[in-house]
Structure 1
């Protein structure tokens, strides 16, 4: 019996591009997903040099992708790092402070997408006050000098 090519055989030719169209950018095992999670995907755009959102936390894990520019990312327990266009990032959410998500460049805008799994009835983002930041300094990774 001859081999059948799904791209050319049959009444309608089918694409085979899907077989090589996927590139894995990251894989993560989040520590939890809130029961009954509400999921939202956002596009965030910061102008050149913008420091981004003040320290905050999310009620569930968040997964993102930098579309344009460079993000300076810092999540509690991890050293700050630069995430460039075409790179993915994630954070566990819950009782973890997200210190930085600002534009690392002063000459180009930053644009990224983020998909968040939010705990039902909880805000997707809660700012952290100075008192709590001071109480948790031991959990923050050393900062570059």
Structure 2
């Protein structure tokens, strides 16, 4: 399986964005850093930790690309009823979201929670739970050839602030599971990636340097996404700061032959 960044968005994606406000190609939640929108940066005493936030299971699909978006919902903003042709997994970066899948009770996703939107059922609610504060979430859509990232029942009447992140191309990839992990990296510390599956992710706090053998070193700041190819065991994610901790959210794309439910 190969993974890479797609430099151009497809015509279908551009058409889907007709209903979204002006996009920004490389910003995500970085503006929150200067605005103070994210939680206060942890102190240097933060301990290294790794926790699985969620496992998403779905029918095996031949994923050709992972399309990502960074959504900023104004206070009280309500999402239109919609469905997904491709499973979507994501992370709440700021605020709270009221989430309801048809046939299920609504629940609240808080800052730091991961989520999964399945293929098929109507998503009745994905609304900002606060009447006074902005909510921000990032999602990754696991698309087969020609699939849109979202389908609205009716044309939205309110602009949706979706800021595009790079789309990552995959090949020869049959996936039926995504494991979502949160890693907290203390100041001047590092973690070593111990997985052999393709991975996409975001930096939720701080700045990290990603060092993969045979690949150019990358510096990723809060709000930016990244992708790691399969067979990346030995990749090091290093906190670039000697003063504050960093937080990384990774989405591991589990091939169907390796998935454990």
For the aligned pair, the TM-score class normalised by the smaller chain equals 0.5 to 0.7
The equivalent of 1:14 in structure 2 is none
1:35 pairs with 2:62 = yes
Give the CA deviation at 1:22.
Answer: 2.1
Correspondent of 2:96 among 70, 79, 87: 70
Bigger radius of gyration among the two: 1
Q: Which runs of 5+ in 1 are unaligned?
A: 1-19, 130-145
1:114 pairs with 2:114 = no
Give the CA deviation at 1:33.
Answer: 4.2
Q: How many corresponding residue pairs?
A: 107
2:131 counterpart SS class: coil
| Normalised TM-score (structure 1) | 0.67
**1:32-68, CA deviations, whole angstroms, 9 ceiling, x for partnerless residues?**
243244211211110111112x111111111111110
> Structure 1 residues 47, 59: CA separation in 2 closer, same or farther (over 3 Å shift)?
same
1:86 pairs with 2:121 = no
The equivalent of 2:14 in structure 1 is none
Q: Please identify runs of 4+ aligned residues in structure 1 that moved more than 6 A.
A: none
| Normalised TM-score (structure 2) | 0.39
Give the CA deviation at 1:103.
Answer: 0.3
> Structure 1 residues 110, 37: CA separation in 2 closer, same or farther (over 3 Å shift)?
same
The equivalent of 1:26 in structure 2 is 54
CA distance in structure 1 between the partners assigned to 2:127 and 2:68 by the alignment: 18
> Structure 1 residues 122, 92: CA separation in 2 closer, same or farther (over 3 Å shift)?
same
- What's the C-alpha RMSD, in Å, of the aligned pairs? 1.5
Q: Is the 8 A contact 2:95 2:134 kept in 1?
A: yes
Greater alpha carbon shift after TM alignment, 33-42 vs 56-65: 33-42
The equivalent of 1:141 in structure 2 is none
